[in-house]
Amino acid sequence: MSHHFPFESGNRDIFTLRTTARGRPGALPFTPEQLATAPSGDLFGWSQNVGMGWAPENLGGDRPEVAILSTQGGIRRPDGSALALGYHTGHWEVGLLMEEAANAVTAGGGVPFAAYCSDPCDGRTNGTKGMLDSLAYRNDAAIVFRRLARSLPNAKAVVGIATCDKGLPAMMMALAGLPDLPAVLVPGGVSLLSEEAEDLGKVQSIGARFAHGELDLQTAAELGCKACGSPGGGCQFLGTAATSQVVGEALGLTLTHAALSPSGADIWKDLAARSGAMALALARGGASTRDVLSEDSIHNAMICHAAFGGSTNLILHLPAIAHAAGLPRPTVADWQRINRETPRLVDSLPNGPHGFATVQVFLAGGVPEVMLHLRGLGLLRTGARTVTGLTLGENLAWWENSERRRRLKEKLYQLDSIDASQVIMTPTEAKQNGLTSTVTFPTGKLAPQGSVIKSTAIDPSLISADGWYRHEGPARVFASEREAIAAIKSSGPDQIHRGDVIVLAGLGPAGAGMPETYQVTSALRYLAIGKHVALITDARFSGVSTGACIGHVSPEAFAGGPIGKLRDGDQVRIEIDCKNLSGSIDCPSLTEEDLALRERNPILHPHPDMPADTRLWAALQNASGGSWGGCVYDTDRIAELLEQATIR
């Protein structure tokens, strides 16, 4: 390196310069009326188009402009190797989907444009300060995507491509907030299982298992290295990323059988090409997203969430999508009703009993296969419109007799010796195999405004014959995830014991931006004592979390919630009726009056590294309905509160 670095590199070729170059040959196909009446931006936009290499003869006329938006991250070399890493596999390959969609738009006589807003990885930020930005990012990205779409003022359609926990919900919020444009969502798919390692949920617990002597260093290192079976796609389990893909399809925003496609495969690329072509067709047909998103489509998405056993984080994201579309936000009562009506039919990681990977769920038929069973139960609103231009009922009629359905089920058996009916079950088979409904919303003295637990994922050996999970034990109160995981890993006097109830308080939106706490829940799942320890928190969980873990406890500690008043040693009683989906979290030694009079635990403090913009997000979403309302920005409500404050 030159001794003049950083001022000079020593490369003398950099001084070969020019100040002029020839413009593009040809002429823009303006019409007299266009030149006389069009905004200057429309005219200059065409100059920009040909400046970037677009042929002038391929502008104007019946050539709709289509915005292709994605969460692409990293820089891939032409051979697919990494020049600069992305933040996660979920956005590493989505540029290939953009290429397929763009080629299809061009082939159909449209003009494709591409723009990006990349996304973080909750797996990468678990247990770190990066998690303070995770949920807040979702709202920011949705705003950016909408602004990008509107900044192409002549766009006639949008294709949204995204994969993972926050980027995909953000994309759906963005598309929902563009009601006058047709929009087609392309889920980024899933990664393949590694043939030599654990799934991507279990591998995140290698640190805790090593600390307890359940793994040696070499085994942990090899498991971590081999965990990803492919360079692209969301995680192999039905976490928030995969559940969001399922919900996107159930909303009618994708083509049929789009969710959970294997990243990098031809069938995955084919989806993007057909989606680009469909967006162009919708643009020419005058359709819009307003025709697709409705109260019926929200209902269908909630039904599918329950039937799949989806991530509890969609209780935050689906209301946000509804709000963006101008539709009523689902309430806790709605979620309770849906989950009581709807049987879980899918045996997927992390819920079990077997725990098939998401790519295997895709081959078994994915969303439309589950919907056939739900249609038979009369639970779906099949008149809902979809981006295919047809109703959900018409889509399902095609799927039921399709070659695609038959051949993919055959492929699943050929590749993995798995019968599709083992993965996606009939209601009768699901009941016989012990699958229970997905989520329960406990209340009680410690959660007067509610909480949530994925009750279907509690270890079956802990559930009584009458369907109840019961646990009572001493509270172990922690003010941070770092302190909790240290105690879980410890073998000293501060270690967690069988029967304890971990209370992770002060991590709601106001305290820490409502991080997910998978570092803790994964350790509890895969450690030998884990199933005998319960957890309650005002934070949220990764979609892959399982066990007796209760999150979203409301009110949060820094809103005066009783969870923030617990002390070490207080007895906590948890009772969950996994059949009737009711439950409670109580402190039997304290009355409601005792809790009301007790001061907040002095160990609790807002996270010292909470960014100012996350604090702003927390305040705005709190004014807009809080976490049960989807952590959204309700502009009218915020403006009303500001006006009231000004008047006072």
The predicted structure's pLDDT at residue 522: 85
Q: What token pair was written down for 263?
A: 């990243």
Burial of 431 (0-12, 13-18, 19+ CB in 10 A): middle
Whether residues 540 and 642 share a domain: the answer is no
* DSSP annotation of 225: H
The predicted structure's pLDDT at residue 546: 74
Residue in 164, 300, 140, 302 with CA at minimum distance from that of residue 240: 164
Whether residues 504 and 578 share a domain: the answer is yes
**Residue 326: left (phi > 0), alpha (psi -120 to 50), or beta?**
left
What is the domain-level CATH number for residue 563? 3.50.30.80
DSSP E strands: which ranges in 51-165?
65-70, 75-76, 82-84, 111-116, 155-162
Q: Considering the domain boundaries, does residue 216 fall inside one?
A: no
Whether residues 162 and 253 share a domain: the answer is yes
Domain hosting residue 641, numbered range = 612-619+622-647
What is the domain-level CATH number for residue 236? 3.40.50.2300
> How far is the C-alpha of 301 from the C-alpha of 341, rounded, in Å?
14
Domain ends where: 371, 388, 423?
A: 423
Q: Considering the domain boundaries, does residue 486 fall inside one?
A: yes
pLDDT tens figures, 203-221 = 988 998 999 899 999 999 9
Whether residues 460 and 412 share a domain: the answer is no
Residues 561 and 539: beta-carbon distance below 8 Å: no
Q: Considering the domain boundaries, does residue 40 fall inside one?
A: no
Residue 346's DSSP bridge partners are 424
Domain ends where: 388, 423, 458?
A: 423
Burial of 407 (0-12, 13-18, 19+ CB in 10 A): exposed
Q: Considering the domain boundaries, does residue 214 fall inside one?
A: no
Whether residues 110 and 71 share a domain: the answer is yes
Domain ends where: 387, 405, 423?
A: 423
The predicted structure's pLDDT at residue 2: 56
**Residue 513: left (phi > 0), alpha (psi -120 to 50), or beta?**
left
The predicted structure's pLDDT at residue 93: 97
Helix 332-341 × helix 295-308 angle, to 10°: 60
The predicted structure's pLDDT at residue 457: 84
Q: 137-158 burial string, b = 16+ CB within 10 Å, else e?
A: bbbebbbbbbebbeebeebbbb
Q: Considering the domain boundaries, does residue 503 fall inside one?
A: yes
- How far, in Å, are 164, 260, 286, 452 from residue 336 at the CA level? 26, 26, 37, 10
Q: Considering the domain boundaries, does residue 210 fall inside one?
A: no
Q: Considering the domain boundaries, does residue 150 fall inside one?
A: yes
Handedness of CA 132, 539, 204, 411 (dihedral sign): negative
> How far is the C-alpha of 167 from the C-alpha of 165, rounded, in Å?
6
Split into its structural domains, the chain has a count of: 3
Residues 563 and 540: beta-carbon distance below 8 Å: no
pLDDT tens figures, 496-554 = 999 999 999 999 999 999 998 888 988 888 888 889 999 999 999 876 677 899 999 99
Return the H-helix or E-strand segment holding 15. Answer: none
Q: What token pair was written down for 536?
A: 């309650």
Whether residues 109 and 246 share a domain: the answer is yes
Q: Which of 134, 294, 451, 542 is catalytic?
A: 542
On the question of a cis peptide bond just before residue 353, with omega within 30 degrees of 0, the verdict is yes
End-to-end CA distance of the chain: 64
The pTM for the full model equals 0.96
Write out 311-367 in H/E/C secondary structure: CCCHHHHHHHHHHHCCCCCCCHHHHHHHHHHCCCCECECCCCCCCECHHHHHHCCHH
Whether residues 130 and 185 share a domain: the answer is yes
Q: Considering the domain boundaries, does residue 521 fall inside one?
A: yes
Whether residues 326 and 362 share a domain: the answer is yes
Whether residues 385 and 464 share a domain: the answer is no
Q: Is 542 one of the catalytic residues?
A: yes
The predicted structure's pLDDT at residue 404: 98
Q: Which residues contact 593 (CB under 8 A, 6 or more apart)?
A: none
Whether residues 485 and 538 share a domain: the answer is yes
> How far is the C-alpha of 163 from the C-alpha of 70, rounded, in Å?
9
Could you tell me the strand order of the sheet in which 155-162 lies?
Answer: 111-116, 65-70, 155-162, 183-187
Residues 91 and 189: beta-carbon distance below 8 Å: no
Q: What token pair was written down for 373?
A: 């069973």
Whether residues 563 and 632 share a domain: the answer is no
The predicted structure's pLDDT at residue 543: 65
HSE toward the beta carbon, residue 61, CA cutoff 13 A: 10
The predicted structure's pLDDT at residue 360: 98
- How far, in Å, are 201, 290, 294, 336 from residue 327 at the CA level? 34, 10, 7, 19
Tell me how many helices (H) and strands (E) the chain has. Answer: 26, 13
> How far is the C-alpha of 102 from the C-alpha of 104, rounded, in Å?
5
The predicted structure's pLDDT at residue 1: 52
Residues 254 and 225: beta-carbon distance below 8 Å: no
Whether residues 237 and 298 share a domain: the answer is yes
Which residue stretches of the chain have pLDDT < 50? none
On the question of a cis peptide bond just before residue 6, with omega within 30 degrees of 0, the verdict is yes
